[in-house]
Amino acid sequence: MRGLAALIMLQGHVMDGWVRPQDRSGEWFWLSQFLGGLPAPIFLFLVGISLAIVTDRMRAKGASTRDLVLKVLRRGSWLLFLAYVFRLEQFVVWYPASEWSGVFRVDTLNCIAICTIVIGLVLVAFTSRRSCIIGMALTTAVFVFITPWAYAVRGLPAFLLSYLNGANHPYYFSFFPWASFTLAGTTSGYLLLEAKQRIGEAEFFKRAAVTGVCAYALGRAMSLTAAFEYGVFDYSVTSPHYFLVRLGWILLILYGAYCWSTREAAAGWSPLISLGRSSLIVYWLHIDIVYGRLFHGFGQSLDLFNAVLQLLWLVPLMILASCTRAIWTTVQLRLDTLAAVREAPLQ
């Protein structure tokens, strides 16, 4: 599922960065950008599932609260560090045309880091799967419905406000509203762990698909009335109904990914799984290519067809980069194993 999100992200950024203005009003470009709006919610949703699985596994092994806190802080802090390294690299690449304020832009990786830290620490407060499911489900609902009001908060330092609600930058990936997908992911993760023991994995994913259809229908129905237009209302950013619409799509994609992964041919190598395992590298490299100096001449200058053609070399390049990382990791693991075997007789 993460690999699919990476693939959709690639086409979305290529179309956004390289398609000329006169080709941006057609149905195909609209479809490209609609799909391009799904990867960020998918990534954040999967962060929540990962948090649920990791914390549950650590608790099962007897990890203390301190161990859980340190695990969350180390993971989140590392991601936040990488986010600022990435922005600094962008600043250097575009210097002197770059602006220093761009380093502090809250982008997808910043949001993933903050969600990992904040929601991970909240999870530590719960001691059982049942309490996690109830607590995170309620937190998700409350979070979604207070988002329009949270978006109106002002008076805090600009740096903190940027992370909280974007500080009047709707293109920022701030905690409100984007953390709602991570909260939903943690709820889904604990539901999955509980369902595997009660009803089985396959039944859980079927129910997830049904829930996705219901969430989508509810979100569409809510948009037919002005009753939910309060606070700072922006349908595609703060509205509860658009969150439900996107959550519906995510749950349906989750079901599709499960079905795809359980087919007979799924045991072999998969380019999507490879992309998913190296999604951070893919994210970094493709941003440097699409929005970097090397291909700056492509910027909003290609017709739609020629922009699509660029995917024929960019996607294989990203798959190659992900495979290179996987090969290097495997080589390192085997070298470490070999060294341990050679040292064993001496010990």
Distances (CA, A) of 316 to 14, 44, 311, 322: 14, 25, 8, 10
Whether 345 has a pLDDT exceeding 60, the answer reads no
Distances (CA, A) of 308 to 10, 159, 185: 11, 38, 32
Joined together, the tokens standing for residue 276 give 């998913």
Rounded Cα distance, 239 and 62, in Å: 40
Render pLDDT for 230-253 as a digit per residue (tens, 0 to 9): 999 999 899 999 999 999 999 999
Domain total of the chain: 1
Render pLDDT for 207-220 as a digit per residue (tens, 0 to 9): 999 999 999 999 99
Confidence band (pLDDT; 50, 70, 90) for 343?
low
Distances (CA, A) of 202 to 13, 122, 149, 186, 261: 34, 29, 39, 19, 12
Q: Which domain holds residue 284?
A: 2-343
Q: Mean pLDDT across the chain, nearest whole number?
A: 91
Q: Which helix (H) or strand (E) element contains residue 18?
A: helix 2-18
Helix (H, G, I), strand (E, B) or coil at 302: strand
Joined together, the tokens standing for residue 22 give 């006169």
